[in-house]
Chains A and B, each alone.
Chain A
Amino acid sequence: MKPLLEISDLSVKFDTLRGTLKAVDSISLSVMPGETLGIVGESGCGKSLTSLAIMRLLPPNATITAKSLRFDGKNLLGLGESDYQKLRGASMSMIFQDPMTSLNPCFTVGYQLREVLKAHRSADKKQSLKQAIALLERVGISDAETRLDAYPHQLSGGMCQRVMIAIAIACRPKLLIADEPTTALDVTIQAQILDLLRELQTDYGMALILITHNLGVVSQMASRIAVMYAGQIVETGETRRVIELPRHPYTAALLKCTPDVEGKVAKAHLPTIRGMVPDLVHRPSGCQLHPRCEYADDACRIADPAMLQEKAHTVKCIHPLGGAV
């Protein structure tokens, strides 16, 4: 099977007064049709910018470079703005972290939902109304007909996220990018939204890129996982393998310092990652993690590690945990 989305050597740069900031640093990844890829990492690691680059929603001061960026057989790099417009919202769409602010407060939910149908499906009023009701029902909003006339402030956070999902799936996209879709929600509502995303995915056969900092969410949702640090992908692999046997020291450290509900030792010190995320304008030499890594030696300070591959598991480290790859 051919991948739905194939990215190779994608970089996103910003020109700042202090110099060039390389926010995403030559990352490569692919997504198969219908699969769920989880992208994890701390804030500022470039996970959101990666998705915005795929959607071409970056601010004008950003420069995107890539060796290739292919989606559904099309070369996205050569695509003009109006062609991209046709793609966005139709065959690839996105939902954002904060459902309350990503909807326009001045328009009703129904208007915003029908806007997509008008733009991409050139549906007339009657058709779009019917479809909008069906969509709201599909995402689990009861009393859909009256809800169409509601404004976003009249709905709860969980409801707004359901509306966002309805808008995103209105044209049955092949790829849905969910950027921290449940971070602003309570755990009980988070579980409901994750359920809904899974259901829709099986029904529509769409691929899902799930961006989150919550390792628990990734481990139950994603079949594959990509760990990002300082704009680079440092480890990818099948979720279970990466979480049970992480090869990159950063992945291992991240897993260790997350307090888990099943943790037994109460009130003991948690392991931490020393220091802070590097300044992306003045990046460290060699491996980006070396100032914070407990295994770093001289080799790590000099050479940028290559991506090592062992079957489906890749790791960007000179001294991967558990021996040579």
Chain B
Amino acid sequence: MTESPMLQVSGLQKHYPVRKMLKHVGTVKAVEGVSFSLGRKETVAIVGESGCGKSTLAKCLMRIETPTGGEILWNGKSMTELAGTDFRRHIQLIFQDPYGSLNPRKKVWEIISEPLRINTKMGKEERKATAQDLMSKVGLRPEHGNRYPHMFSGGQRQRIGIARALALRPEILICDEPVSALDVSIQAQILNLLLDLQNELDLSYLFISHDLGVVRHIADRVMVIYLGKVVEQGPVQEIFESPKHPYTKSLMASTPHIRRFEKQPAAVRGELPSPMNPPSGCAFHKRCPIAVDRCSNEEPKLRQIGEQWVSCHLSE
């Protein structure tokens, strides 16, 4: 971590009201008090089950959703004070689905240079040239700029998505499951590309993924989220080699290892509880293998153990 991180998020909160027949009946706390920082050239991975708030967190950072609380500081300045165009130069997004995220009616160079058309005063020729530059940077042939998305394979489309995200020369890329729709051999190519681009352009990544193998490979630090809250956070090596929170432990235990041939029994019972009425105390206590009475009454706070931050009463 650098001394003054580029992006500092503190106490970020996103609540959605739930209405039934126009009456307010409850609140979904999709993201609740998430704090973290992201330094230059650093990769922070966010892991958790579906519905835990990973994508909502990304949307809040991209300002697709307005957070209901907390603060996002960009080099010490509040993000909310930056105008949309200023801000989008700094942060861009790569989507999960390389098929759904590209407009099928547009040529590839138009797709890649669309951020430039919206956010800069560049002329058409200049934009086209920039798009072709970007295409060669991400490993596509620039002369294919006049083709349409359907003429490309899934991996190539993901490269188009990456080129578009790089068009405004952002410092941070938010990657929302960028490789989970791809085959392993293609997945490896895209991960390598992301690593190369990081070294070349000093990019920082906020990497959202449910694949722990990929996370282990690409991240510097890991943040584990359960029902909108951070349950454990720390350097990648510590998290993987000595996970402290029982939830992190069960995620690790549930992930099948290629070279472990014994049958692995399921590590967690039950399913993710409804975020509308999360359990009292520790949100994980109903599925936790080591829960005690205290866990159902008292909500644990994040505390530091070594280099990790853990929110569990029982971890040491």
Distance, CA A272 to CA B195, complexed state (A): 14
Give the residue name and chain of the A residue nearest to B219 (CB).
Answer: A266
B255 touches A187 (CB 8 A): yes
B258 and A258 contacting across the interface, CB-CB below 8 Å: yes
B121 at the interface (CB under 8 A from A): no
B residues less than 8 Å from A214 (CB atoms): 256
Whether the pair B189, A272 counts as a contact (CB closer than 8 A) is yes
- The reply to whether the CB of A191 lies closer than 8 angstroms to some CB of chain B is yes
Query: Bound state CA distance, A243 and B191, in angstroms?
Result: 23
How does the 8 Å CB contact mask read for A189-219 relative to B, with 1 for contact and 0 for none?
A: 1111011001000000000000001111101
- Whether B62 is near chain A, meaning CB under 8 Å from some CB there, is no
Question: Please, how many angstroms separate the alpha-carbon atoms of A56 and B240 in the complex?
Answer: 45
Question: Cβ of A240 and Cβ of B251 under 8 Å apart?
Answer: no
* Alpha-carbon separation in the docked complex, A190 to B267 (Å): 10
- Which segment, of B16-24, B206-214, B293-301, faces chain A? B206-214
| Cβ-neighbour of B49 out of A188, A217, A258 (below 8 A) | A188
Does B185 make an interface contact (CB < 8 A)? yes
Q: Which of B34-61 contact A (CB under 8 A)?
A: 43, 49-50
* A250-300 residues at the B interface, CB under 8 angstroms: 253-255, 257-263, 266-273, 276
Binary per-residue interface labels of chain B (184-227) against chain A in the complex, 1 for a CB within 8 Å, 0 otherwise: 11011101100100000000000000111110111110000000
| Interface hub of B49, B184, B192 (most chain A Cβ within 10 A) | B184
B184 to chain A, nearest CB (A): 5
In chain B, what residue has the closest Cβ to A244?
B259
Contact present for A216 and B217 (CB under 8 Å): no
Interface assignment of A156: CB less than 8 Å from any CB of chain B: yes
Given contacts A42-B184, A186-B50, A272-B192, contact A267 B218 (CB under 8 A): yes
List chain B residues, Cβ under 8 A from A220.
256-257, 260-264
For the complex, count residues of B whose C-beta is within 8 A of A: 49
> Is the CB–CB distance between B261 and A219 below 8 Å?
yes
**Is residue B183 within 8 Å, beta carbon to beta carbon, of the partner chain?**
yes
Residue of B nearest to A189 (CB): B271
Interface presence of B231 (CB below 8 A): no
Decide if B25 is an interface residue (CB 8 Å cutoff): no
Please state if A276 and B271 are interface contacts (CB–CB under 8 Å): no
Residue from the list A188, A258, A273 in contact with B250, Cβ < 8 A = A188
B250 close to A272 (CB less than 8 A):
no
Say yes or no: B236 contacts A186, CB within 8 Å: no
A43 to B195, alpha carbons, bound, how many Å? Answer: 25
B256 with A217: CB separation less than 8 A: yes
A158 contacts partner chain B, Cβ-Cβ < 8 Å: yes
Asked if A269 and B192 make an inter-chain contact with CB atoms under 8 angstroms apart, the answer reads yes
- Is there an interface contact between B210 and A186, defined as CB atoms closer than 8 Å? yes
| Residue contact A266 to B236, C-beta cutoff 8 Å | yes
Measured CB to CB, the closest approach of chain A to B271, in angstroms, equals 6
Does A51 touch B at the CB level, under 8 Å? Answer: no
Contacts of B265 in A (CB 8 A): 191, 195
Q: Which residues of chain B come closer than 8 Å to A191, judged between CB atoms? A: 253-254, 256, 264-268
B251 touches A187 (CB 8 A): yes
User: Chain A residues near B277 (CB, 8 Å)?
Assistant: none
Nearest CB of A to B142, in Å: 19
Given A188-B49, A269-B195, are A258 and B184 neighbors across the interface (CB < 8 Å)?
yes
Interface: B237 (CB within 8 A)? yes
- Residues in A with CB closer than 8 Å to B271 are 156, 158-159, 189
Q: Closest CB of chain B to A189's CB: distance in Å?
A: 7
In the bound complex, residues from chain A placing their C-beta under 8 Å from that of B191 are 259, 270
Q: Answer whether residue A239 sits at the interface, using C-beta atoms and an 8 A cutoff.
A: yes
Judge whether A263 and B217 touch: CB under 8 Å: yes
Q: A219 contacts B259, CB within 8 Å?
A: yes
| B143-173 to A contact mask, C-beta < 8 Å, 1/0 | 0000000000101000000000000000000
CB distance from B265 to the nearest CB of A (A): 6
Contact between B266 and A195 (Cβ–Cβ < 8 Å)? yes
The reply to whether B217 and A267 contact each other, CB–CB distance below 8 Å, is: yes
Task: Known A43-B183, A188-B250, A190-B254; judge A261-B216 contact (CB<8 A).
Answer: yes
CA distance A159 to B217 in the complex (A): 32
B291 touches A (CB below 8 Å): no
Do the beta carbons of B258 and A216 come within 8 Å of each other? yes
Among A156, A216, A267, A270, contact of B188 (Cβ-Cβ < 8 Å) = A270
**CA distance in complex: A156, B271 (Å):** 9
- In angstroms, how far is the closest chain A Cβ from the Cβ of B294? 24
Closest CB in chain B relative to A17 CB, distance in Å: 16
How far, in angstroms, from A189 to B287 measured CA to CA in the complex? 12
B43 partner residues in chain A, CB cutoff 8 A: 267
- A239 and B261: CB pair below 8 A? yes
B252 at interface, CB cutoff 8 A: yes
- 20 additional A-B pairs beyond A239-B261, A257-B184, A270-B188, beta carbons within 8 Å, are A42-B184, A156-B271, A188-B268, A191-B253, A191-B265, A215-B184, A216-B213, A216-B255, A219-B256, A219-B257, A220-B260, A220-B264, A259-B213, A263-B213, A266-B217, A266-B218, A266-B236, A267-B218, A272-B185, A272-B192
A-B contact pairs, 23 of them (CB 8 A): A187-B251, A187-B254, A187-B255, A188-B266, A191-B266, A195-B266, A220-B262, A240-B261, A243-B258, A243-B261, A258-B188, A259-B191, A259-B214, A259-B216, A266-B236, A267-B195, A267-B220, A269-B195, A271-B188, A272-B188, A272-B189, A272-B192, A273-B185
